[in-house]
A and B are shown apart, each in its own frame.
Chain A
Amino acid sequence: MTALAALFVRDIRIAVRVGGGAMIGVLFFLTIVALMPFAIGPDLALLQRIGPAILWIGALLASLLALDRLLTADLEDGSLDLLLMGGTPLELAVAAKALAHWLTTGLPLVIATPVFALFLNLDLTATAAVAGTLFVGTPALTFIGLIGAGLTVTLRRGGILLSVLVLPLAIPVLIFGVAASNAAIVGPLPFGTPFLILCALTLVSLVVGPFAAALALRQGQD
């Protein structure tokens, strides 16, 4: 087993075991979705109309909440230093970590989406559209967040700063995710246009994220 695969498996194991907190993001997501009707009112027609936006905001905040854990635990137990000094390219190592992170925090959000969509009175097409866009879009959120995590990992109270840094960068993902969902439900745009741009954003973040995060980790050392 190569070092990268070992790192990947280790991260997934840590996340799914006790104390890993892989499901906390889904719980948070559920809380946001459940709070919305209390703020907006139980008007099912209105909830149906803004449902995709609520689900996207919920998923965005939930994945933002989990970002804090992406590198901090490794810094605390010293394994981040091993990664920095090890022979494996740091870019690939952080990419493997981010992938594992997405599998344990991002993918559960996507899987939970069809259930939460019931609360918001979304029909089958809308549910599929939101789940599909989240499936493509949440990796972008994780990999953009990886940059923020790399920048703030050594800071005290880095968590709040992380949100401030990452949110402006995540705006395009949110825009095209919600636009593609709405395009599938009501039009007038074809679903493909915003969806393909969303795919492009994800691919760009897959490239830029690990490099920027690795650079930040190297430069951020004392």
Chain B
Amino acid sequence: MALIDLANPSRFLSFVDRVLPWLTGATALAFAVGLNQVYLAPDDYQQGATVKIMFIHVPSAWLAMFGWTVMSVAALGTLVWRHPLADVAAKAAAPIGAAFTLLCLITGSLWGRPMWGTYWVWDARLTSVFVLFLMYLGVIALWRTIEDPSRAARVAAILTLVGAINIPIIKYSVEFWNTLHQPASVMRLDGPTIHASILIPLLVMAAAFTLLFVTLHFAAMRNEILRRRVRTMQLMQAQAAPGS
């Protein structure tokens, strides 16, 4: 089946139905292997067992950015090619990306408490992830404000692309601001460079998280397509109703 065939929502639905069980299985398997490796990974000589938060924290941060990338590609698909699935993909990715961003922030602050003695510091990286979270919330709010789905898709696509231009600028300016205010950053994760005993579980966990994202994204896209069909049917039913 060529990729172009997937543009048809019905074909896409049957494709998702076939792929989703395998994706779910692969995700579960990757998490089983990853969590086992995390369990076996040695504690850090300075941070003790809290270093294991990293195995959730770092993949979440990676997916926070991955989510916006998916949305930007989908936004291009919406605006340039008017691809019918692109708006569905963009809409489905926003809450998932926001959830991973929130997960990244929460695990980060839980990790920060024993390490830095505080839940929150205005560190450059924390701040830019926080701003990213705000931007996710803005996009979701925009999606939820416009009733007509295809108009909402185009408007949200423009915001997504403007955000994509802005994310590097925000990242750079926050780093500038941070070095200006805090000469010595609290974030000191050096020490030995990451040893293979930590790195391999981290990579496996990153793969597992990415699989989880793809699985959730496909499922959310399927739900969104079904939701739109229900909406269309309701509209048709309302039109056909007698006395209207």
Q: Which residues of A contact B (CB under 8 A)?
A: 147, 150-152, 155, 157-158, 161, 164-165, 167-169, 171-172, 175-176, 179, 189, 194, 197, 201, 204, 208, 212, 215-216, 219-222
State which of B17-25, B47-55, B150-158, B217-225 sits at the interface with chain A: B150-158
Interface of A is mostly: helix
Cβ A161 vs Cβ B142 within 8 A = yes
Q: Which residues of A contact B177 (CB under 8 A)?
A: 175, 179
Cβ B162 vs Cβ A169 within 8 A = yes
- Given known A155-B146, A189-B180, contact A172–B151 (CB-CB < 8 A): no
Cβ A179 vs Cβ B146 within 8 A = no
Q: Which residues of A contact B169 (CB under 8 A)?
A: 172, 201, 204
- The number of A-B residue pairs with CB atoms under 8 Å apart is 82
A-facing residues in B139-196 (Cβ within 8 Å): 141-142, 145-146, 148, 151, 154-155, 157-159, 161-163, 165-166, 169-170, 172-174, 176-177, 180
A-facing residues in B17-67 (Cβ within 8 Å): none
Cβ A212 vs Cβ B131 within 8 A = no
Taking a contact as CB atoms closer than 8 A, the residue among B142, B151, B166, B170 that contacts A222 in the complex is: B151
Q: Which residues of B contact A172 (CB under 8 A)?
A: 166, 169-170, 172-173
- Given known A168-B135, A169-B166, A172-B170, contact A179–B176 (CB-CB < 8 A): yes
Residue B79 CB within 8 A of the other chain: yes
Residue B134 CB within 8 A of the other chain: yes
Interface size class of B (residues with CB under 8 A): 20 to 34
Q: Which residues of A contact B203 (CB under 8 A)?
A: none
Cβ A219 vs Cβ B79 within 8 A = yes
Q: How far is the CA of A164 from the CA of B165 in the complex (A)?
A: 18
Q: Which residues of B contact A158 (CB under 8 A)?
A: 145
A-facing residues in B67-120 (Cβ within 8 Å): 79
Q: How far is the CA of A216 from the CA of B158 in the complex (A)?
A: 7
Who on chain B is nearest to A147 by CB? B162
Cβ A164 vs Cβ B141 within 8 A = yes
Q: Which residues of B contact A167 (CB under 8 A)?
A: 134
Residue B137 CB within 8 A of the other chain: yes
Taking a contact as CB atoms closer than 8 A, the residue among B134, B135, B151, B161 that contacts A220 in the complex is: B151
